[in-house]
């Protein structure tokens, strides 16, 4: 659907153009509703942590763990060096799940054994005496067990990869937002980054343990076991500490970027995916160079960047060592945007970590926007606009899906990713100056005390205001805290000037409940010439004038923001290509999933679904299908020929007259 319209001129009056889709009914949803849920719903998906841990800072941590892939158990010690934040610190509170397979046998300090209680997902350790503010102390927790978690594939879990007799174990972690407590005693919150983490993982011979940082030693402590010692010497958030163990093939290369950065690239992949990985990860150095053009020097150049394959329906930006779901390993390169996404997190998320989970959109919005920048890198302005168009949430633009800022749960769906990316895109349009915009991005990632620290939404808004030269609160907060989107009316009249050129008087009005502060480019086609005026609309309505090039021209077209620099209801940014356009919801947790597609003419259509092993689990021939102006859809109840689809990554293949388009989606149970 295009947003340009042809308007008639009414002598002596106003012509009215309503440029919006019919209103989508909003749910009874207010900010207070979400705050109420935040206080009522607790758990790792909400990013909750044990109260009291704000009274100290973790300076250094050491994990010394034996990971047994035979029975899925771990055993060992975790040491924390910490500094008191007040003069009365007597109890150190760590996060450690209770009732999920882990038991503490002892806690020791510099003076010997320390009394402790392990209850309510917290480990409370009593110090011999209160610590003064700034005083440094340490403790060591000895524990063991078979870790478990209330959500599948969170914390540390054991699976196999391969088929038939050719299988091997995979022991790996995924802990965002707050599942680290399910495999090690820690301060499971993002605002206290650890200055240095040493990770000694002892695993059965023949397996490799991958982790953040640099591999500093590989030793054999006893027959049958190998210890891999990794050191992360850059500050790191708890949820980014990781391990991935399997029979990896390890390949690496040196990357030198045009900006002068030298980075070790190191990839840990299943043997059966070695060749595929060299396609999927083969452009990583080029992507780092692109990231440096957007955000400045790669922040962890003294260590590395790479990937460790694991069994999960996605990828996770563990610092310097992204965990990469095996279902995303294809050998076809179509996952390159997702490689860019996780790489971008090294700047926005890992170096610049959200101070609270309320600010998670800064991670995911900027990383998703980097996918659009990669599309621009590959396909120019058209590729950029199309990528953002396909990120739109249909005709409702995330209506009823809750806020981008401080969502409940922390990961509520695609809104923090896609709407977050659109907010960044709108900043670019607001500045209307690419040099200033890319300077803004680089300065955000590189300047002040932000690198290797924590950041907030308020800081990002203030940073953008510096480059915009104006107050942007009225722009940012309505998009961040409501699920409304502007709905616009444009009215105009021509004032005839006799021998002088005519003047067009514009009135732009927003009709939704919440007022947004936006700048809308208004395009007029008159006498074969395109006239553009930028109109700021911060109140209910505003006016502007445009002088026509001569008195005898006719307005043939008028459009609000035809290049889609602002998020408002009334269409999509670019016509979607023929074929499978989007899958929603994605991920799908239960119920139905919708496959949206576009046809140019009546066509023979079939839909098929394949699992991560490439096996067809569903197919439906739809016969001859007539194009729908609003786009065609097919809904699937996630039932395969053998019952309900299990959790995992799936491929949907849409065939139109024998031509196939493919997209992935994830099922979570």
Q: Where are the domains of the chain?
A: 15-26+485-560, 49-237, 248-483, 579-667
Reduce the secondary structure of 417-474 to three states and give it as a string: HHHHHHHHHHHHHHHCCHHHHHHHHHHHHHCCCCCCCEECHHHHHHHHHHHHCCCCHH
CATH topology of domain 579-667: Immunoglobulin-like (2.60.40)
What element of type H or E holds 507? strand 503-510
Q: Give the model confidence (pLDDT) of 321-350 as tens digits.
A: 999 999 999 999 899 999 999 999 999 999
* Tokens 């480059």 belong to residue: 467
* CA angle, 36 then 423 then 305, to 5°: 95
Query: Was domain 49-237 assigned CATH 2.60.40.1730?
Result: yes
Could you give the dihedral angle defined by the CA atoms of residues 82, 239, 178 and 651, in that order, rounded to the nearest 10 degrees? -170
**Poorest-pLDDT segment among 212-226, 476-490, 543-557:** 543-557
Q: Do you know the residue count of the chain?
A: 669
CA distances from 174 to 216, 607, 639 (A): 23, 32, 27
pLDDT at 39: 55
Rounded-to-integer distance, Cα 441 and Cα 445, Å? 6
> Helix (H, G, I), strand (E, B), or coil: what is residue 1?
coil
- In 3D space, the residue among 428, 416, 440 whose CA is nearest the CA of residue 367 turns out to be 416
pLDDT-based confidence at residue 547 (cuts at 50, 70, 90): confident
Residue 578 confidence (pLDDT) above 90? no
pLDDT at 179 (0 to 100): 96
Domain 49-237 shares a fold with domain 248-483:
no
Q: Is the pLDDT of residue 519 over 50?
A: yes
pTM score over 0.85 = no
580 in Cβ contact with 662 (< 8 Å): yes
Secondary structure of 168-207 as H, E, C letters? EEEEEEECCCCCHHHCCCECCCCCCCECEEEEEEEEECCC
Give 208-223 pLDDT, tens digit per residue: 999 999 999 999 999 9
Is the bond preceding 569 in cis, omega lying within 30 degrees of 0?
no
Q: What is the mean pLDDT of residues 66-88?
A: 97
- For 245-290, what is each residue's pLDDT tens digit? 999 999 999 999 999 999 999 999 999 999 999 999 999 999 999 9
* Range of weakest confidence among 99-113, 261-275, 398-412: 398-412
Give how far Cα 178 sits from Cα of 125, 150, 359, Å.
Answer: 21, 12, 15
- Per-residue pLDDT of 141-175, as tens digits, reads 999 999 999 999 999 999 999 877 789 999 999 99
Q: Tokens representing 509?
A: 């009005």
Q: Does domain 248-483 have CATH number 3.40.1210.10?
A: no
What is the predicted pLDDT for the residue at 629?
62
């Amino acid at each position: 659907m295009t947003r340009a319209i042809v308007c008639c001129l009414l002598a002596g009056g106003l012509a009215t153009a309503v440029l919006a889709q019919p209103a989508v009914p909003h749910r009874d949803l207010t900010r207070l509703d979400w705050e109420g849920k935040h206080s009522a719903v607790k758990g790792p998906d909400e990013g909750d942590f044990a109260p009291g841990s704000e009274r100290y800072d973790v300076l250094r941590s050491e994990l010394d763990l034996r990971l047994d892939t035979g029975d899925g158990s771990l055993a060992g010690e975790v040491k924390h060096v910490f500094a008191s934040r007040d003069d009365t610190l007597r109890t150190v509170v760590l996060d450690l799940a209770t009732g999920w397979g882990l038991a503490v046998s002892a806690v020791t300090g510099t003076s010997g054994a320390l009394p402790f209680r392990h209850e309510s997902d917290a480990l409370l350790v009593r110090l011999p005496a209160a610590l003064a503010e700034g005083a440094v102390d340490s403790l060591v927790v000895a524990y063991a067990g078979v870790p478990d978690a209330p959500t599948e594939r969170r914390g540390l879990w054991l699976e196999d990869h391969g088929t038939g007799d050719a299988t091997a174990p995979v022991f790996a972690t995924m802990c965002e937002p707050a599942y680290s407590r399910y495999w090690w005693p820690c301060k499971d919150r993002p605002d206290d980054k650890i200055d240095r983490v040493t990770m000694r993982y002892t695993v059965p011979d023949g397996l490799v343990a991958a982790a953040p940082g640099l591999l500093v030693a590989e030793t054999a402590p006893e027959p049958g076991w190998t210890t891999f010692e990794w050191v992360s010497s850059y500050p790191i958030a708890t949820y980014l500490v990781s391990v991935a163990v399997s029979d990896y093939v390890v390949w690496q290369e040196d990357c030198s970027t045009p900006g002068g950065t030298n980075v070790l690239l190191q990839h840990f992949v299943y043997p059966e995916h070695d060749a595929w990985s060299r396609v999927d990860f083969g452009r990583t150095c080029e992507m780092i160079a692109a990231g440096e053009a957007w955000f400045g020097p790669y922040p962890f150049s003294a260590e590395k960047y790479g990937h460790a394959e694991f069994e999960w329906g996605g990828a996770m930006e563990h610092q310097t060592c992204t965990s990469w779901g095996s279902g995303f390993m294809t050998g076809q390169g179509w996952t390159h945007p997702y490689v860019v996404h996780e790489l971008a997190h090294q700047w926005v998320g890992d170096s610049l970590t959200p101070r609270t989970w309320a600010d998670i959109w800064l991670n995911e919005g900027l990383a998703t926007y980097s996918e659009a920048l990669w599309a621009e890198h590959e396909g120019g302005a058209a590729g950029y606009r199309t990528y953002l168009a396909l990120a739109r949430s249909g005709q409702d633009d995330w209506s009823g899906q809750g806020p981008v800022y401080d969502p409940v749960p922390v990961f509520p769906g695609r809104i923090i990713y896609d709407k977050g990316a659109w907010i960044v895109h709108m900043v670019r349009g607001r500045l209307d100056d690419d040099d200033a915009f890319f300077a803004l991005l680089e300065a955000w990632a590189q300047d002040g005390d932000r690198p290797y620290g924590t950041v907030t939404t308020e800081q990002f808004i203030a940073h953008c205001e510096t480059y915009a030269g104006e107050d942007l609160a009225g722009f940012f907060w309505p998009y961040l805290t409501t699920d409304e989107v502007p709905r616009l009316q444009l009215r105009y009249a021509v004032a005839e000037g006799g021998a002088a050129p005519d003047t067009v008087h514009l009135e732009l009005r927003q009709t939704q409940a919440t007022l947004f502060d936006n700048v809308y480019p208004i395009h007029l086609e008159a006498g074969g010439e395109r006239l553009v005026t930028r109109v700021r609309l911060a109140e209910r309505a505003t006016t502007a004038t445009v002088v026509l090039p001569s008195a005898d021209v006719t307005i043939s077209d008028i459009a609000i923001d035809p290049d889609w620099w602002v998020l408002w209801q009334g269409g999509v940014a670019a016509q979607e290509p023929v074929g499978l356009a989007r899958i929603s919801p994605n991920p799908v947790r239960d119920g139905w999933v919708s496959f949206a597609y576009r046809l140019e003419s009546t066509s023979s259509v079939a839909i098929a679904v394949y699992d991560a092993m490439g096996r067809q689990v569903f197919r439906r021939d739809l016969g001859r299908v007539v194009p729908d102006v609003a786009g065609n859809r097919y809904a699937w109840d996630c039932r395969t020929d053998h019952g309900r689809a299990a959790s995992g990554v799936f491929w949907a293949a849409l065939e139109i007259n024998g031509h196939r388009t493919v997209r992935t989606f994830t099922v979570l149970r």
